[in-house]
Amino acid sequence: MPSNLAERTVGLADYDQLSTALNFAAERKAHGEKIVNFGGGFPPDNLLETLAAPEIFSGLKIILTDPQKARLSLQYGESSGIKALREALAAYISRKGGLSVSADNILITNGLQEGIELASYALCDPGDIILVSNPTYPGALQAFSIQDNVQVWGLPSDNDGIITDGIKEALKIAQREGKKVKMTYCLNVGNPDTSVILTEKRAEEILELGQKHGFAVFQDDAYDGIIYDGSKTCPPLLYFDPNVIYGGTVSKGLAPGLRIGWVSAPSEIMPALRGLKTRRSLCGVPLIQALLAEYIKEGKYEENIPVIREEYEKRRNAMLSALTNYKEDITVRPVRAGMFVWAENNYGINTEQAAKIILHKHNVVILPGSACFAKRIIGEEVKNTWMRLNFTNTSPADMEKGASALCEGFREIKSSLSQF
């Protein structure tokens, strides 16, 4: 029987490195095997049990035992998200950035992932270009790939964010090729390279280029407040330019299972975003939105961020301690924020190939660095020796075991290759 798939969906069926690995690991775990998962971006289970679950249970109980609140939260909701949550988020963003954000400019999304996709869909025509750092958040690359023939170009970055000379070079190349750069996607905190934290100076330089050349800037602030060692993150770029698209989520600061994200966008594009949201999913989940509206309004979100950051930081320290014993095998970048270690094996081994062997033989899940790179690179070529290692959902004891097994796997692969 011939395939009836539309051409635009063919690429979506490509091999997904992380999903395939996690599914395989889940099967082994179900059969009683011990798996060390450095692959996903999962918050600590203990925080979900001791912090998120009680807050969610308490909030839902209040809503569902109040007839009026229950009725409103169990009906269909506004496509933009319920007003109470949009107002609570507008107030929160305004406090963070020292500015005034309107609830009318906020759209509630199914996690920030949906917000990234909707923004790119609203702004980009076939053939248009989105600029990202290399490496970048792999979920953003997946979101951008849904659009028909939208190109994603990866640019060099340093500890302060995307290097602006790379943006200038990309603009020149795009002009020569008769293409348009429509958006630059900026991570406030690097993912996977958590040594990167966007600075105000670099952000202002990027915004200046955007204003001059007519491309939008999307600021991804998923790791809001998850910073270590006294580092500081850039405030919402709306403070510098009201035309910025600013995105956030409660996935890292409360619970990813709630699937709540948001984008704050200028009035000119908000109707398009709202229209896309309506056509894609009609509306979000009013019950969860009502719960979060009260949680944020009462100040609990801001109150609990330091508790969450402290737990993340303990696990970061444990992971770096575990990896210190294997300096001959891997080199790690500093971890200034977020939930990942960006590491490189020292044997020149392709991690995409190694990841499959290490999973099957040693029961350790990693994300190969290739999942974090755009298909087209502007500037220095990237190496295939990198990997992203998550530390927030693994116990210190398992970190030790996982680091040992991971590096043993690389040594075994090196030994087998040297025989040929």
Q: Please, what is the average pLDDT of the chain?
A: 94
Task: Please tell me the predicted confidence (pLDDT) of residue 30.
Answer: 85
pLDDT at 127 over 80: yes
Q: Of 171, 158, 191, 160, which Cα lies nearest the Cα of 130? A: 171
Task: Please tell me the predicted confidence (pLDDT) of residue 1.
Answer: 45
Average pLDDT over residues 127-133: 98
- What amino acid occupies position 221? D
Helices 351-362/396-418 angle, 10° precision: 120
Task: Please tell me the predicted confidence (pLDDT) of residue 218.
Answer: 98
pLDDT at 212 over 70: yes
pLDDT at 57 over 80: yes
Q: Is 84 left (phi over 0), alpha (psi -120 to 50) or beta?
A: alpha
DSSP secondary structure code for residue 236 in this structure: P
Average pLDDT over residues 317-336: 97
pLDDT tens digits along 155-205:
999 999 999 999 999 999 999 999 999 999 999 999 999 999 999 999 999
Instruction: Give domain limits for the chain.
Output: 7-50+304-413, 75-302
Distances (CA, A) of 6 to 2, 148, 357: 12, 11, 34
With tokens 């600075």, the residue in question is 199
Strands (E), 232-354: 245-249, 261-264, 330-332, 340-345
pLDDT at 17 over 50: yes
Please give the Cα distance from 27 to 22 (Å, whole number): 9
pLDDT band at 14 (very low <50, low <70, confident <90, very high): low
pLDDT at 105 over 60: yes
Q: Of 29, 58, 44, which Cα lies nearest the Cα of 309? A: 44
pLDDT tens digits along 234-282:
999 999 999 999 999 999 999 999 999 999 999 999 999 999 999 999 9
Task: Please tell me the predicted confidence (pLDDT) of residue 3.
Answer: 65
Quick one: fold of 75-302?
A: Aspartate Aminotransferase; domain 2 (3.40.640)
pLDDT tens digits along 287-325:
999 999 999 999 999 999 999 999 999 999 999 999 999
Q: Which residues contact 84 (CB under 8 A, 6 or more apart)?
A: 289, 290, 293, 294, 297
CATH 3.90.1150.10 fits domain 7-50+304-413? yes
CA gyration radius for the chain? 22
What's the predicted TM-score (pTM) here?
0.95
With tokens 């002009």, the residue in question is 175
Phi, psi angle pair for 289, to nearest 5°: -65, -40
Q: What percent of the chain has pLDDT over 90?
A: 86
Contact assessment for residue 318 and residue 391, using Cβ atoms and an 8 Å cutoff: yes
pLDDT at 21 over 80: no
